[in-house]
Amino acid sequence: MHIKYANTQIMDWDNIRYFLEVVHAGSVSRAAQNLGVNQTTVSRRIASLESDLGAHLFERSGKQWSVTAIGERLVASAANMAEEAQALERQVLSDSKELSGPLRITLGSASTQQLAMPVILAFIQQYPEIELEIIVTGDELTWQAVKPILHFEPPIIHHPM
């Protein structure tokens, strides 16, 4: 998607996403892998963004790319833009769609199961289209053990007991 203002092309949002992925992944090859495209596509997207901005965002030395000072400034702004775009998408989807589909949760110790049941029951009532699968392990699971697998921070759920 190209953004235009007063007949002037400003920049392509997909190019910014590719830029952020290179920064976060640490290399073009890992960014390409994360994005599901080849390295040439990532390099071409970065070159296009640099051309649109008229500035180098990376210093290139062979396969090693390091972010320039201008690139660092763009990282902060682009990350904020990405967060806003994701928030907008969540808002639009939550307004237009019921949540549905499968959800699997794992509960460890008996005390965890007992504490979770009121929240689970409220969740089932609020989202009847969710196909909930509960796996009971009997092991004490800690967030620190699960976090690396899930790759996200848990939401804070407040539920009156």
Q: What radius of gyration, in Å, describes the C-alpha atoms of the chain?
A: 21
pLDDT at position 95: 63
The model carries a pTM of 0.53
Domain extents in the chain = 2-94, 98-150
Q: For residue range 80-120, what is the model confidence (pLDDT) as tens digits? A: 888 888 888 877 776 656 777 888 887 766 656 667 777 88
Q: Which residues have C-beta within 8 Å of that of residue 85, sequence separation ≥ 6?
A: 13
Position 146: which residue type? V
Q: What CATH topology corresponds to 2-94?
A: Arc Repressor Mutant, subunit A (1.10.10)
Q: Are 2-94 and 98-150 equal in CATH topology? A: no
Percentages (nearest 5) of helix, strand, coil residues in the chain: 55, 20, 25
Q: What's the CATH number of domain 98-150, 3.40.190.10, 3.40.50.10490, 3.20.20.60, 1.10.760.10?
A: 3.40.190.10
